[in-house]
Structure 1
Amino acid sequence: MRLLLLSDTHLPKRAKALPAPLLDELPRADVVIHAGDWVDTATLDLLESRSRRLLAVYGNNDGPDLRARLPEVACADLGGLRFGVVHETGPAQGREARCAARFPDLDVLVFGHSHIPWDTTAPGGLRLLNPGSPTDRRRQPHCTYLTAEVDDGRLTDVVLHRLPPR
Structure 2
Amino acid sequence: MSDTHLPRRAKALPAPLLDEIPHADVVFHAGDWVDTATLDLLESRSRRLVAVYGNNDGPELRARLPEVAYADLGGVRFAVVHDTGPARGREARCAADFPGGGVDVVVFGHSHIPWDTTAPGGPRLLNPGSPTDRRRQPHCTYLTATVADGALTDVVLHRLPPRT
Normalising by structure 1, we get a TM-score of 0.96
User: 2-side partners of 1:142 and 1:118: how far apart?
Assistant: 14
Structure 1, residues 112-157: CA drift from partner, whole Å, max 9, x if none?
0000000001101410000000000000000000000000100000
1:13 corresponds in structure 2 to 8
Of stretches 118-127 and 152-161 in structure 1, the one that deviates more from structure 2 is 118-127
Say yes or no: does 1:63 pair with 2:58: yes
User: 2-side partners of 1:124 and 1:24: how far apart?
Assistant: 36
User: 2-side partners of 1:125 and 1:99: how far apart?
Assistant: 7
Pairing 1:12-51 to 2, within 5 Å after superposition: 12-51=7-46
Q: Which consecutive residues of structure 2, in runs of 5 or more, have no partner in the other structure?
A: none
Of 141, 144, 149 in structure 2, the residue corresponding to residue 147 of structure 1 is 144
3-state SS of paired residue (2:8) = coil
CA contact (8 A) 2:94 2:122 kept: no
Instruction: Name which structure has the greater RCO, CA cutoff 8 Å, separation 6+.
Output: 1
Of stretches 155-164 and 122-131 in structure 1, the one that deviates more from structure 2 is 122-131
Count how many residue pairs are aligned between Structure 1 and Structure 2: 161
User: 1-side partners of 2:57 and 2:36: how far apart?
Assistant: 9
Of 79, 98, 112 in structure 2, the residue corresponding to residue 115 of structure 1 is 112
User: 1-side partners of 2:68 and 2:76: how far apart?
Assistant: 16
User: 2-side partners of 1:103 and 1:20: how far apart?
Assistant: 35
3-state SS of paired residue (2:91) = helix
1:95 corresponds in structure 2 to 90
1:129 corresponds in structure 2 to 126
3-state SS of paired residue (1:52) = coil
Say yes or no: does 1:77 pair with 2:58: no
* Superposition deviation, residue 28 in structure 1: 0.9
User: 2-side partners of 1:130 and 1:77: how far apart?
Assistant: 18
Normalising by structure 2, we get a TM-score of 0.97
Task: State the one-letter code of the partner of 1:162.
Answer: R
2:155 corresponds in structure 1 to 158
1:3 corresponds in structure 2 to none
User: 1-side partners of 2:74 and 2:120: how far apart?
Assistant: 22
Q: Percent identity?
A: 88
Q: Indicate the RMSD between aligned Cα atoms, in angstroms.
A: 0.5
3-state SS of paired residue (1:66) = helix
Task: State the one-letter code of the partner of 1:135.
Answer: T
